[in-house]
Structure 1
Amino acid sequence: MIQGNYFQDNEDLLLHFDTLIEWEEIVRAYEGNFGDAAKYKETGNEKYAYAPSSVAEAKEYYRSILDSLGEIMGDFVAPRSKEMDQIGLKYENGKVTFPKAQEECYKTLKDSGLMPISISRKYGGLGLPATVQSMMCEIAARADAAFCLAYGNINIVEIMERYASEEMCQEWLPRISAGEFSAAMALTEPNYGSDLPNVQTRAVQGPDGTWKITGAKRFITHACGYVDSPSVILTLARTGSPESGARGLSFFLVQGKDVHIAGVEHKMGLHCSPTCEVVFENSPGELIGKTGYGLVKYSMGMMNAARLTIATQSLGIATAAYFEADKYATERIQFGRAIRQIPAVKRMLDRMEREILATRCLVSETGRAIELYHWRKERMLKEEGKSEKEVSQDESLRRWEKLADLFTPMSKYYASEGCVSIASDALQIHGGSGYTEDYDVARIYRDSRITTIYEGTTQLQIVAAIGGVVSGMAPSGHLRQYIESEFASFSASADLKKLWEDLEQTVQKFKAIGDGNTKDSLAFETVETATRLVCGILLEKSLSRLNGDARKEREAASKAYNVDSLAIAEANLFKLERASRQAVAV
């Protein structure tokens, strides 16, 4: 793996941090009136020692964290990624052991204090907005996608801050932040993958009020704990009748010591990330929040964050693939020249690069939407003292909520599909050498393949996004308003305007299809055109912040991206027009 500081050596990531991200609105949404800094000044509590008291301080705080993580991931973790992958995990009698190199990486990161990124300062976390968390996840995934999961796993307990009692939060979150425990999320069951409303694991309350959980869960990342940090498992279980569906599910905290790890999956990739089968036998559980809200509110409430996490992981893997391919193509001499100079190879590298640029724009905008919805809502409720009803009537908040709910499945689908494609091209550029385990690209390719599957397959992301595209394109729809507002903020190219026209026609043709099955089969094409338009807008809009050679290079990438998008959109429109004509004929 290429070594170096994975924050400092990534020019586009730095460009986003330094120039493209609107830190004023992000920081105001997340930090509010800088209450944590005020608490430190008032109490001297070290939990709040690094809390910023201004936008400028916040930006420097975020930069210092990214810089520190970039150094650890690029100079310490990345050089050990091959060893971790090749040695892999060992499972015996319910216990999982990790490679020594992985234990060293985990201890280094744990000691650095950089793990609790989504836990608030109140409970010993770093207190970081989604925008910064995304950058950290990208940096970690570039170093090693499997270790990235270990790095981020404790942060799923952020859901407890929203819904668990204060007593429960005070009992568990500081200890989790300190690394005493790792964390896992147990939703999926052997017979119920994404079909969560039919989960069968049971939770029964005894006469003394305690809950006991019985059942089995599959594909549970890090349920076994990590080195010297035993797990706490946030578990979805049925408290209602077997026929109660989504409304009969509740959420529990179960300690890893009270379950049996029946095995770990032998996977194609992510060899040092344990994917466990977990058996619960009257395992004690602590109820999180209220019964009946486990899926409809709590688990679903995590979807945006989970999808954004995998989108950023995909972006990190794709970035690693591109940098490794570019290095190899620059050093590999064939026919008297570096293969990077061969037009067919250069064309592949150029496409990989512009797809990464566009994806980073989309991921960044998705983080912004979550920020301006979720954290702004939290501030309105907690700091401004507004009621739930008042908050629900705030038009700006509702707009960003709709956009967050659309952009997250868009990002997850687009980044993960792009990740697999870019990793495949990187392996191709390495030629026969890429098909061996001598080069890191083989591992990168294997690791990439899961991204379109877990946390909801691409197909499920399309289902989640299509409604937002179609309703969002109505005369007063949120997507239409967003696109029109963006177009008004810069001088769009003719190609981008044509792509906007193509989306208009695509949505109309899609709505005209009467047969439900045909309609469902063409949802991907409709979402794809919409996603590429949003990416194209964000990429082209970013040119206004640049000048000189940096602008020229990005402008060339933007133009080529729009040409790619137009070709795809025209093909999608052709398919929809044909389906529409057939529907009329029938």
Structure 2
Amino acid sequence: MISNNYFSDNADLRDHFDSLTDWKEIIDAYEENFADYEAYQKTGQEELAFAPGNYEDAIEFYKSTLEAGGDIAGRDISQVAKVMDEVGLKYNDGKVTFPKEMIDVIEKIKSAGLLPYGIHRHYGGIGLPSVVQSMLSESVSRADGGLAITLGCMNLAETVERFGTEEMIQEYVPKMAAGELCGAMALTEPNYGSDLPNLQTKAVKGEDGVWKITGTKRFITHACGFDKAPSIILTLARTGSTTSGARGLSFFLVHSKDVYVASIEKKMGLHCSPTCEVVFENSPGILIGDEGKGLVKYSMAMMNQARLNIAAQAMGIASAAYFEGLKYATERVQFGKTIDQIPAVKKMLDRMEREVAGMRCILYEASRAVDLYRWKEERGRMNGISEKEIRKDENFKKWEKLASLFTPLSKYYITEIANLVAYDALQIHGGSGYTEDYDVARIYRDVRITNIYEGTTQLQTVACIGGIVSGMTETGIFREYVKEEMAKFSPSSELKELWSSLESVVNEFTGIDSSSGTLREELAFEVVESAARFHVSMLMERNIPRAKVERREGRKALTQSYLLDSAAILAANLTKIKGRKKILAAV
């Protein structure tokens, strides 16, 4: 793979950092008047030593973190990714062995102080807003998607931080920050994939007050821990009756030493990411939060963050596909010229560049939405403010709702487009791309899972459709958001027309008669795709005047091309909805 700093060599990513992100807005939300800096001045608390004291220091801290992470990603991880993929994982009697090269680069990340990027600095983490976390995840995922998952699991402390007791937080989160513990999410069961309300793993409370969990979980990433670090397994189990559905599920913390890893999956890609089948046999568990809220509150909150992480992973893999495809095309000579000069190939490269730029916009907008509500909740808890009080804040409620929409929307959109970008990258490589001699084969294999795990595209569609339809009403949250964002620039006539097209798509969809059976469910994707294309189009156009002067013309050209494609897609979706309604009416 290309050896370079994966932050510094990515002009579009740097644009987002240098020009396109409203850092004052993000810093105000995350640093809260630089409260950690003030606390350090008063207490000398070691964990807060690097907390910034002003906007300039905060931006410089975030940038230096991204540059350091980009350097390790592009000069270390990327250079051993092929070897790690070939060596893979070894399983023997419940134990999983990782490639030495993988252990070495994780240790390098740990030594550089970058490991706990998703953990709050109060508990030994770096302390990064969601936008910066997504940028870092993109760089690492460009180098190797599987290793990015490992880092994500080692940062899987959010649920404990948000919903655990103070005792639980102090016991486990600092150890995760130090790399002494890994994390895992145990939701799926062999017969219950996405059908979580009906899962059967049982938790029973003994007379001694200890919960004991029995059952089997499948597709559990890093349930085995990583190298010498065991995992804390965040486990969904039934505390109610078998017929109590979602309300009978609770959430537990289970130590990996108390379960048995029965096997690891032999997968098409992500060969260094252990996907485990785990057997619980009277395994002791610690209840997280309130009994009965395991799915409706805690698991859903955890999955929303995981979906954003997968969007960032797919973003990074798509970046790798684009850059590797571009490199090959500018070096491969056919018919007396490099193939990037052949119109058919150039068209593919232009499309890849355009789509990657659009994906990046929606990823960082979803991350922005998370930043503008999550930290108010987290800091409020630290300061003893009740959840009820926090939820009285109208701005909090607004961004929480938008984040709940943008997270599945970005997860669906980015992972689907990432697959298309990887497809084009392999096509550009020709027959060579179909061999394992080039990294694009691994990229193609690795990206395929992203629109499946943490909720398939079809499930993201279900998660989005309600928010889009209600959000597009006259007083809807999405309509209000679009109005506010479009007031920040001068929208083109093409963008205004696209907005009208989206309104038509939604109106046609909501006009489907309730007696039409499953037609709404069948056509939900067309609505979600239309909303995503408009959203990305708006973000791309919004960013043109924010960009550096020398970058504006290029960004404008990408945006115009994207708008043209989006107009065609929305017109096609409107035709499909009208056509299906007409066919049904004629039956």
TM bin (shorter chain): over 0.9
1:113 offset after TM fit, Å?
Answer: 2.1
Q: Per-residue deviation at 1:382?
A: 5.2
Residue 424 of structure 1 is matched in structure 2 by 423
Could you tell me how far 1:363 is from its partner in structure 2?
0.6
Mapped contact 1:225–1:231 kept (Cα < 8 A) = yes
* C-alpha distance 220-396 of structure 1, shift in aligned 2 (>3 A): same
What SS does the corresponding residue of 1:217 show, helix, strand or coil? strand
Matches of 2:359 and 2:403 in 1, distance apart?
16
1:559 corresponding residue in structure 2: 560
CA, structure 1 residues 110+482, in 2 after alignment: closer, same or farther (shift >3 Å)?
A: same
Q: TM-score, normalised by structure 1?
A: 0.97
Match of 1:109 in 2: 109
2: CA distance, partners of 1:436 / 1:311:
27
Shift of 1:516: 3.7
Instruction: Give the count of matched residue pairs.
Output: 585
Give the equivalent residue in structure 2 for 1:462: 461
Q: Percent identity?
A: 58
Q: Match for residue 400 of structure 1?
A: 399
| CA–CA separation in structure 2 for the residues paired with 1:376 and 1:399 | 13
1:149 aligned residue: 149
Deviation of 1:155 after TM superposition, in Å, equals: 1.7
Deviations, residues 428-481 of structure 1 (Å, cap 9, x unaligned): 000000000000000000001000000000000000001111111100111111
Instruction: Tell me how far apart the structure 2 counterparts of residues 374 and 546 of structure 1 sit (CA, whole Å).
Output: 27
Q: Residue type matched to 2:108 in 1?
A: T
The CA distance in 2 between the partners of 1:91 and 1:523, in whole Å, is 42
Aligned pairs for 1:300-315 (under 5 A) are: 300-315=300-315
Mean CA deviation greater in 445-454 or 296-305:
296-305
**Corresponding position of 1:474:** 473
The aligned residue for residue 228 of structure 1 is: 228
Output aligned runs, 1:344-363, within 5 Å.
Answer: 344-363=344-363
Per-residue Cα deviation, 1:298-322 (whole angstroms, up to 9, x for no partner): 1111232111111111100000000
1:446-525 correspondence to structure 2 within 5 Å: 446-514=445-513, 515-525=516-526
What is the alpha-carbon distance in structure 2 between the residues aligned to residue 39 and residue 199 of structure 1?
45
Structure 2 stretches lacking a partner, 5+ long? none
Distance 1:165 1:382, change over 3 A: closer
8 Å Cα contact 1:512-1:580 kept in structure 2: no
- Verify the 8 A CA contact 2:162 2:378 in the aligned structure 1: no
* Structure 1 runs not aligned, ≥5 long: none
Q: Is contact 1:304-1:405 (8 Å) kept?
A: yes
Alignment of 1:368-379 (within 5 A): 368-379=368-379
Contact 2:377 2:387 in 1 (8 A): no
Give the letter aligned to residue 258 of structure 1: D
Kept in 1: contact 2:254–2:283 (CA 8 A): yes
Q: How far is 1:393 from its partner? A: 3.6
Q: Does 1:529 align with 2:547?
A: no
How far apart are 1:173 and its partner, in Å? Answer: 1.2
Contact 2:94–2:262 (8 Å) recurs in 1: yes
C-alpha separation between the residues in 2 aligned to 1:323 and 1:483?
A: 32
In structure 2, distance between residues paired with 1:212 and 1:113: 37
Which residue in 2 is equivalent to 1:181? 181
**Which residue is equivalent to 2:539?**
538
Match of 1:3 in 2: 3
Query: Aligned residue for 2:205?
Result: 205
CA distance in 2, matches of 1:381, 1:105: 35
Kept in 1: contact 2:7–2:139 (CA 8 A): yes
1:92-136 C-alpha deviation (Å, 9 max, x unpaired): 111111111111112212222212122111211112111111111
Give the distance between the partners of 2:274 and 2:548, measured in 1 at CA: 47
Task: Provide, for residues 182-241 of structure 1, a one-character-per-residue CA deviation record: whole Å limited to 9, x for no partner.
Answer: 111111110111111111111111111111111100000011111111111111111111
Supply the distance in 1 between the matched residues of 2:185 and 2:139 (Cα, whole angstroms).
23
- The answer (yes or no) to whether the contact 1:513–1:583 under 8 Å persists in 2 is no
Q: Report if aligned partners of 2:155, 2:182 keep a CA contact under 8 Å in 1.
A: no
Are 2:440 and 1:441 equivalent residues in the alignment? yes
Partner Cα distance (1:341, 1:73) in 2? 30
Q: Secondary structure at the match of 1:521?
A: helix
Alignment partner of 1:62 is 2:62: yes
Distance of aligned partners of 1:60 and 1:548 in 2 relative to their CA distance in 1, 3 Å threshold:
closer
Aligned partner letter, 1:565: S
Amino acid at match of 2:200: Q
CA distance in 1, matches of 2:106, 2:445: 22
Equivalences for residues 40-439 of structure 1 within 5 A: 40-379=40-379, 383=383, 388-439=387-438
Q: 1:322 to 1:513 in 2, by over 3 A?
A: same
Q: Is the contact between residue 29 and residue 379 of structure 1 (CA under 8 Å) also seen in structure 2? A: no
Deviates more, 1:398-407 or 1:340-349: 398-407
Q: Offset of 1:549 from its aligned partner?
A: 4.0
Per the TM alignment, residue 386 of structure 1 is displaced from its structure 2 partner at its CA by: 5.8
- Return the alpha-carbon distance in structure 1 between the equivalents of residues 174 and 168 of structure 2: 11
Aligned equivalents of 2:491, 2:569: Cα separation in 1: 19
Local SS of the residue matching 2:273: coil
SS across alignment from 2:235: strand
Structure 1 residue 396, shift from structure 2 partner = 2.3
Contact 2:20–2:547 (8 Å) recurs in 1: no
State the shift of 1:376 in Å. Answer: 2.9
